[in-house]
Amino acid sequence: MKITLSCIKADVGSIGGHTCPSKEMLNACESIVADAISRGVIIDGIVTYTGDDINLILSHERGPDNEEIHINLALKAFHEATRIAQQQGLYGAGQDILDDAPSGNVRGAGPAVAELTFEHDLDKEGTERAAESFLIFAADKCGPGAYNLPFYLSFADPMYCSGLLLVPKMHQGFRFTIIDMDESQHDSVIELDAPEDLYKIAALLRDNERFAIESITSRNYPEQIALNLSAQRLHNIAGTYTGKDDPIAIVRNQGIFPAPEEIMQAWTIGHFVAGGARGSHTMPIMPVPIGTPVTGPYCIPLVSALGFSMSQNGTFAHNKVDFFANPAWDYVRQKVQKKALLLRQQGWSGPAMLPYSELEYGGIKDIINDLQLKFHPRKQPQAAPYFSAPAPAKQ
């Protein structure tokens, strides 16, 4: 059977500021997902949250961009959660729903979408996927480019992924599809192969604001997609500030793909990303357990990682493992918080605040534009002549 995993994520309101959704909002989404399971629309599904974003993680046989999944399930759940958020007077009710009635699917309508389809038959003789395990990374208060460094290291650098050296099925490396998020008219992508194109991949991925990994595929098994992520930029689609496009990613692991521990290693860095308070600062990203609200100083960007295994018939949600809930990550969190405090000491100065092109609030541009009009050339003082002109000679 061909299984599609759909992860659809949106911030449609949260308690006491942009912290986390309410219990009632999550319950409403859960009952819509349960109803879809009982009607056979999807095989399985689970509702989680990371910061202020609700994540719907669904398995089904309907393929990507499917109307039943995107509109009749996900958008319906987000509309219902929005209604509750409005009733409860929560902050930012419905904020990620830019288009209430999109046609066909929710891409470009606000929610973040990661989707990935694969042939699923655990019993097939000689299958390269005798077990299907996968991770869902959901991040808040940052953009899709926040995933550039960790997934580059996990899939292209043997310093982080020893499987690239140790596992013959990984020796050929991986194909990266990278999207230019500044292109708002149509999707603009490039395929580059690791290891041959490593420098080119790095040259693009260093620019987290413009380029993002959209998907990664095994070169040994080109039909096997390892990773897909929601590399869309809402403010490029909407034309106005709408949020930091908090990204979600599906990462299949083990076997022909990196093992979870190799994927986790890069998240110990706590690398600096764009986001944080008002989506306008440079902050390190902190790995946190699922269901962590955003309550730290200056909204440190958060990332969660849930691991699942899929049964022969496509169910997965009955058991999950929360990777960043392990005590090893307490040490990383302390380190990341220290990095954040060090950078925050310099407030708005230099790289601590994002450049104008990336600021999500226009206020500072208004100040500068206003002051720009008042700048003026310095008036040169008239220097008194050192020698006064000689008096005219008497006739």
Answer whether 282's CB lies under 8 Å from 334's CB.
Answer: no
Q: Which stretch binds Mg ion (CB under 5 A): 133-141, 229-237, 253-261, 263-271?
A: 133-141
Nearer to Mg ion, 18 or 252 (CB): 18
Candidates 11, 52, 157, 197; catalytic one: 11
Q: Which stretch binds Mg ion (CB under 5 A): 35-43, 140-148, 277-285, 341-349?
A: 140-148
Candidates 180, 200, 207, 241; catalytic one: 241
CA R_g for the chain: 25
Nearer to Mg ion, 202 or 238 (CB): 238
The verdict on whether 241 is a catalytic residue reads: yes
Closest-by-Cβ residue to Mg ion is: 11
Binding to Mg ion in span 97-116, by CB under 5 A: none
Least spacing, CB of residue 15 vs Mg ion, in Å: 12
Nearer to Mg ion, 132 or 140 (CB): 140
The verdict on whether 49 is a catalytic residue reads: no
The verdict on whether 366 is a catalytic residue reads: no
Query: Of these, 6, 9, 18, 235, which contacts Mg ion (CB under 5 A)?
Result: 18
Query: Of these, 6, 28, 53, 216, which contacts Mg ion (CB under 5 A)?
Result: 53
Least spacing, CB of residue 88 vs Mg ion, in Å: 16
**What is the total count of residues that contact Mg ion (CB under 5 A)?**
6
Nearer to Mg ion, 118 or 324 (CB): 324
Least spacing, CB of residue 243 vs Mg ion, in Å: 6
Query: Of these, 44, 52, 157, 262, which contacts Mg ion (CB under 5 A)?
Result: 52
Q: Which stretch binds Mg ion (CB under 5 A): 52-60, 167-175, 247-255, 282-290?
A: 52-60
Query: Of these, 3, 11, 163, 270, which contacts Mg ion (CB under 5 A)?
Result: 11
Show the tokens assigned to 236.
Answer: 């490029």
Nearer to Mg ion, 331 or 361 (CB): 361
* Count of positions (residues) in the chain: 395
Binding to Mg ion in span 208-247, by CB under 5 A: 246
Nearer to Mg ion, 258 or 279 (CB): 279
Q: With helix as H, strand as E and coil as C, how does the chain read? A: CEEEEEEEEECCCECCCCCCCCHHHHHHHHHHHHHHHHCCCCCEEEEEEECCEEEEEEEECCCCCCHHHHHHHHHHHHHHHHHHHHHCCCECCCCCCCCCCCCCCCCCCCCEEEEEEEECCCCCCCCCCCCEEEEEEEEECECHHHHHHHHHHHHHCCCCCCHHHHCHHHCCCEEEEEEECCCCCCCCEEEEEECCCHHHHHHHHCCCCCEEEEEEEECCCCCCEEEEECCCCHHHHHCCCCCCCCCEEEEEECCCCCCHHHHHHHHHCCCEEEECHHHCEEEECEECCCCCCCCCCCCCCEEEEEEEEECCCCCCCCCCEEHHHCCHHHHHHHHHHHHHHHHHCCCCCHHHECCHHHCCCCHHHHHHHHHHHHCCCCCCCCCCCCCCCCCCCCC
Binding to Mg ion in span 146-165, by CB under 5 A: none
Write the binding mask 246 to 285 for Mg ion: x where contact by CB under 5 A, - elsewhere: x---------------------------------------
140 lines the binding site for Mg ion (CB under 5 A): yes
| Among 194, 203, 191, 206, residue whose Cα is nearest residue 148 | 206
Q: Point out which residues bind Mg ion (CB under 5 A).
A: 11, 18, 52-53, 140, 246
Residues annotated as part of the active site: 11, 241, 244
